Amino acid sequence: MLRAKNITKTFGGLTALDDVTLNVAAGSITGIIGPNGAGKTTLFNIITGIYTQTAGEVYLDDENISFFPPETLARMGLVRTFQNVEMFGQMTVLENVMVGLHTKSRSGFLSCAFKLPRQIREEKLIKEKSIRWLEFTDMTDLAGMRADSLPFGKSRLLEISRAMALEPRIILLDEPAAGLNSRETLQLAELIRRIRELGITVVLVEHDMDLVMDICETIFVLNLGKKLTQGTPREVQENPAVISAYLGVS
Amino acid sequence: MTKEKRQITIFLIFSFVLLVIPFSLRESYLLNVMVFIGIHTMLAVALNLLMGYAGQISLGHAAFFGMGAYISGIFTTRFGLDPWLVIIMAALCAAAIAFAMGFPILKLKGHYLAMATLGFGIIIYIIFNETVNWTGGPSGLSGIPNLKIGELVFDNDFHNYYLVWIITLGVMLLSINLSQSRIGRALRAVHDSEVAARVMGINAWVLKVQIFTVSAFISAMAGSLYAHTMTFVAPASFGFNFSVELVTMVVVGGLGSIYGSFLGAAILTTLPEFLRVFEDFDIIIYGLMLIVITMFMPGGLISGLQLLSQKFFLKFKAKADKGA
């Protein structure tokens, strides 16, 4: 479903990614792991159109999306979350999710300013749908809170609800478990499975090995900007190259 | 009371108070000040849509105000065109310029955007000054006709008050509606995190250009009203100082609050009366106000007022509870 082909990215003299190829099967949960500085987030940023690669191509289904900006990708059903949670801090939790329905609504400047009947109907619909996505992550009781006053774990969930409101075909989660306690991590694993059950492909970058091994079908291992290996959790765990990359044994 | 009903009530009370003021305020001078507050409110609201909602600064908004004023002035005095028609033409013209210019300059962020808009404002100011054949240059353009509807001529402060305030209230209402719609949310999203907004499918660049265009449209309309109520315009009213004054109105009143813009406009319009002693140093006072407000009251005076009323309400409630 998602293919990144021979991606290379250099920042000045530094090669962050070197000829990396990634294949994500439709309907799967795919993990990307690797030590710090392996280029995981850079790869995410390239796929989601935030960075432009130095070489290589990205395909969504069979369309070349190499140079598509994030807003176009969102309309095509590709959405992501951020490692450092990017909330709309001054807005309420509910409003944050409502922004997620931007691409699902049409009203322009005039119909919004004059509150035309069509816009009022649409606004009601946006609200109802958003509440449903808050239910999905069990956050309805926080709907009226300002997003920047949420505890960290909840803001991660909010980011996921907001992304889900887009009704994406594929969702990329950048370290969704970072900063979560073990109970929250378990809930996250369950949430990711529920997302997949909706037919949505999930890709995640993660440091929490237990989580990755638990939920992913395929794992890609990056090290120092290069793809080390890929395989099932078991294959990856037993791969000597992976072990040495993590433990520093040669 | 639901949130929506409360907002409608607030707007109705606000409008009612403003519309009965002239009956208690027979003094022409004060009415004249209120006319200015109306025009400034419209400008502050326009700039607030850009600054407070989309989070993009403009240090050249006086230019759009001036364009409205001069286009109205020139086309009604030299070509005798219908003033109402010219108002719409002027607003569309300013909007078109903002739209064309918005694409390149709204790629810029922060200080760079501030510099670009500043430069634009100064260029337009120079044009007002130098194209003497059209604008009358530094000595200004006079003899601009008053607006009229049938027999009703808006030639005194009482009439002008209603002319300006009915339009201003309209602009405020539409802006409030806009700010609470999907467009308003998208604007605030761009303000809080542009990258996340883009990931949510919002084309941040185009949206910024659109709101810049709307803002210019409203500003030019305010300019036209200014020209027709004053019947005289001169470049000095549309310079850099006035752009800074507009930014001050928005920040002092409250970024992202339409009523805050009214408050800011009211304060900054009446303040010069008290600042006469400082003569040309008034811009220093504006600067100081900006610093103090951004440091200690980032939500502007309107948020301070809200806090105060909440405290008062809580106290009141506590007392009532005790009594019961």
CA distance, residue A250 to nearest chain B CA (Å): 40
Which of A75, A102, A162 shows the shortest C-beta gap to B186? Answer: A102
Q: Which domain holds residue A139?
A: 2-247
**Does the pLDDT at position A14 exceed 80?**
yes
Max intra-chain CA distance, chain A: 69
Cβ B248 vs Cβ B286: under 8 Å: yes
Question: Which amino acid, one-letter code, is at B88?
Answer: I
Q: What pLDDT does residue B284 have?
A: 82
Cβ A160 vs Cβ A86: under 8 Å: no
Helix (H, G, I), strand (E, B), or coil: what is residue A227?
strand
Write the burial class of residue B89 (CB in 10 Å: 0-12 exposed, 13-18 middle, 19+ buried): middle
Helix (H, G, I), strand (E, B), or coil: what is residue A169?
coil
Cβ B84 vs Cβ B225: under 8 Å: no
**Contacting residues for B12 by C-beta, under 8 A, at least 6 apart:** none
Task: State whether B186 and A99 contact (CB < 8 Å).
Answer: yes
Q: What percent of chain B has pLDDT over 90?
A: 76
CATH number at residue A102: 3.40.50.300
Q: What pLDDT does residue B311 have?
A: 83
Q: What is the mean pLDDT of chain A?
A: 93
Sheet strands side by side (includes A14-24): A14-24, A2-11, A55-60, A63-64
Task: State whether A115 and B177 contact (CB < 8 Å).
Answer: yes
Q: pLDDT class for B24, splitting at 50, 70, 90?
A: confident
First to last CA, chain A: 35
pLDDT in tens, B68-100: 999 999 999 999 999 999 999 999 999 999 999
Helix (H, G, I), strand (E, B), or coil: what is residue B174?
helix
Task: State whether B177 and A112 contact (CB < 8 Å).
Answer: yes
Kindly state the tokens that stand for B153: 């001529």
CA distance, residue B206 to nearest chain A CA (Å): 11
**Does the pLDDT at position A249 exceed 70?**
no
Q: How many CB pairs under 8 A join A and B?
A: 99
Contacting residues of B for A162, CB less than 8 Å apart: 200
Q: pLDDT class for A207, splitting at 50, 70, 90?
A: confident
Picking from B175, B149, B166, B224, the residue whose alpha carbon sits closest to that of residue B34 is: B166
A99-138 residues touching B, CB cutoff 8 A: 99-103, 105, 107-109, 112-115, 119, 122-123, 126
Q: What pLDDT does residue B288 have?
A: 86
Distance CA A245, CA A227 (A): 12
**Contacting residues for A90 by C-beta, under 8 A, at least 6 apart:** A146, A147, A148, B188, B191, B192, B256
Task: State whether A126 and B195 contact (CB < 8 Å).
Answer: no
Return the bridge partners of B141, or none: B233
CA distance, residue B4 to nearest chain A CA (Å): 12
Distance CA A167, CA A159 (A): 13
Distance CA B87, CA B89 (A): 5
**Contacting residues for B22 by C-beta, under 8 A, at least 6 apart:** B31, B34, B158, B161, B162
Start-end of H helices in B231-299: 240-253, 258-274, 282-296
Contacting residues of A for B199, CB less than 8 Å apart: 48, 70-71, 74, 79-80, 86, 163
Chain B nearest-CA residue for A104: B201
Chain B nearest-CA residue for A171: B199
Q: What pLDDT does residue B294 have?
A: 83
Q: What pLDDT does residue B324 have?
A: 53
Task: State whether B177 and A113 contact (CB < 8 Å).
Answer: yes
Question: Which amino acid, one-letter code, is at A153?
Answer: G
**Does the pLDDT at position A90 exceed 60?**
yes
Sign, CA dihedral B208-B209-B211-B215, equals: positive
Distance CA B324, CA B322 (A): 5
**Does the pLDDT at position A129 exceed 60?**
yes
Picking from B132, B95, B312, the residue whose alpha carbon sits closest to that of residue B234 is: B132
A26 touches chain B (CB under 8 A): no
Helix (H) or strand (E) holding A243: helix A240-247
Number of domains comprising chain A: 1
Kindly state the tokens that stand for A50: 């935030």
pLDDT in tens, A39-78: 899 999 999 999 999 999 999 999 999 999 999 999 999 9
Helix (H) or strand (E) holding A228: strand A226-231
Contacting residues of B for A69, CB less than 8 Å apart: 198
Distance CA B148, CA A192 (A): 65
Task: State whether A166 and B201 contact (CB < 8 Å).
Answer: yes
Helix (H, G, I), strand (E, B), or coil: what is residue B175?
helix
**Does the pLDDT at position A171 exceed 60?**
yes
Helix (H) or strand (E) holding B100: helix B83-105
Return the bridge partners of A155, or none: none
Which of A87, A101, A123 shows the shortest C-beta gap to B181? Answer: A123
Which residue's entry shows tokens 């006035």?
B242
Read off the DSSP letter of residue A69. Answer: -
pLDDT in tens, B110-139: 999 999 999 999 999 999 999 999 999 999
Q: pLDDT class for B1, splitting at 50, 70, 90?
A: low
Kindly state the tokens that stand for A129: 């749908």
**Does the pLDDT at position B293 exceed 90?**
no
**Does the pLDDT at position B190 exceed 90?**
yes
Cβ B86 vs Cβ B219: under 8 Å: no
First to last CA, chain B: 23
Read off the DSSP letter of residue B53. Answer: I
Task: Annotate A222-243 with b (16+ C-beta within 10 A) or e (fewer).
Answer: bbebebbbbeebeebeebeebe
Return the bridge partners of A218, or none: A30
Q: How many CB atoms lie within 10 A of CB B92?
A: 14
Cβ B18 vs Cβ B77: under 8 Å: no
Q: What pLDDT does residue A247 have?
A: 73
Q: What pLDDT does residue A110 have?
A: 95
